[in-house]
Amino acid sequence: MEIVSCLKVEKIYRQDHLQVPALRGIDMAVDRGEFLALAGPSGSGKTTLLNLIGGLDRPTAGEVLIEGVPLEGLSESALARLRLEKIGFVFQAYNLIPVLSALENVEFIMLLQGIPSDERKERAHRILQEVGLEEMIHRRPSQLSGGQQQRVAVARSIVANPHLVLADEPTANLDSKNGHDLLDMMQRLNEEKNITFIFSTHDHQVMERARRLIQLRDGKVVDDQHRR
Ordered alpha helix ranges (H), the chain = 46-53, 76-86, 102-112, 117-130, 146-158, 176-193, 204-209
Q: Are 65 and 5 in contact (CB under 8 A)?
A: yes
The side-by-side arrangement of strands in the sheet containing 18-31 is 18-31, 2-15, 61-66, 69-70
Q: How many residues does the chain have?
A: 228
| Bridge partners, 118 (sequence order) | none
**Per-residue pLDDT tens over the stretch 141-171:** 999 988 889 889 888 888 888 899 999 988 8
**Per-residue pLDDT tens over the stretch 96-155:** 999 999 999 999 988 888 899 999 999 999 889 888 888 999 999 999 988 889 889 888
Q: 34-60+73-226: which CATH number, 3.40.50.300, 3.40.50.1010, 3.40.630.30, 3.40.50.2000?
A: 3.40.50.300
Per-residue pLDDT at 66 exceeds 90: yes
Per-residue pLDDT at 174 exceeds 80: no
Domain boundaries, the chain: 34-60+73-226
